[in-house]
Amino acid sequence: MMNVRKFAPGEPACADELIRSGLLVAGERVQVSPYTAFVPADELGIVRPIELGPGCRVGAFAVIYGGAVLGESARVEEHALVGKAEQGYAVGQVYLGTGARTVIGRQAVIRSGAVIYAGVEIGDGTVVGHHTLLRSFVRVGGSSQLGHNLTVERASSIGAGVRCSPGSHLTSSCVLADRVFLGAGVRTVNDRELIWGDPHRRPVLVPPRFDRGARVGSGSVVLAGVTVGEEALVGAGSVVTRNVPAGTVAYGVPARVRSAQAVQL
């Protein structure tokens, strides 16, 4: 008979203990450091199983939370967190620490120090850089490269073949279509009025959008509600206050369209 016991909210456990409880399913050739921590129960005490596909590797002092699913040959490096539940207040909503299914695709790599919150889905072959933060329910397509020290806020959607360079910030519910390229230190804004925390008003958030193949140079700021069109190019250091039409080049403060056809890089 299976040895099943209750786990307290946030209580860590070792792999052997979870296997005996039927809460850890591991495929062949899985390598898990003895210093890895597994946390099967969220802050509400709800226990979720953890799945490690064949050939997975999990480094020392990584923390894997209930509901995490690692695809075949996925790699989670040292001190990374996968599947952590959000807790606290943000933009008119209180997060109670509820866990969720968190999927790391086949051959995806989560670098040391990255934090992947509950409900995130990461596609096959994608690399998440050192100390990068993906908040709850972010979606990332396959074969994308997310640089180090990147922040991606809740419910953002990132397509396949995307490159986000280090130090950038994607605001909540941002949309990046396939093959978008953001340079280093790009900042996005989703609030036109900056009234966060006002008890009498709730902000209307309108995140920017980047259509397929759009490219934004390092150090640019893209304001709320802006769409950077398909294959458009925004020059480095720009402040983008209005839509950039597909296939055009725009740059400056504020950014203005300078030519009708983006240079193919």
pLDDT higher than threshold 50 for residue 50: yes
pLDDT band at 199 (very low <50, low <70, confident <90, very high): low
The average confidence (pLDDT) of the chain is 92
Which pLDDT does position 204 carry in this prediction? 77
| H-helix or E-strand spanning residue 88 | strand 87-90
Residue 4 resides in a domain: no
Residue 11 resides in a domain: no
CATH number at residue 59: 2.160.10.10
* Strand 215-216 relative to strand 249-251, pairing: unpaired
pLDDT higher than threshold 50 for residue 1: no
Residue 15 resides in a domain: no
162-166 — which CB contacts under 8 Å span 24+ positions?
A: 165/218, 166/129
Domain count of the fold of the chain: 1
pLDDT band at 108 (very low <50, low <70, confident <90, very high): very high
Domain range for residue 230?
23-259
Per residue in 65-103, pLDDT (tens digit) is 999 999 999 999 999 999 999 988 776 678 888 999 999
Residue 14 resides in a domain: no
Per-residue pLDDT, averaged over 194-207, amounts to 73
pTM over 0.95: no
Residue 135 resides in a domain: yes
Per residue in 112-170, pLDDT (tens digit) is 999 999 999 999 999 999 999 999 999 999 999 999 999 999 999 999 999 999 999 99
Residue 217 resides in a domain: yes
Residue 6 resides in a domain: no
Residue 1 resides in a domain: no
pLDDT band at 265 (very low <50, low <70, confident <90, very high): very low
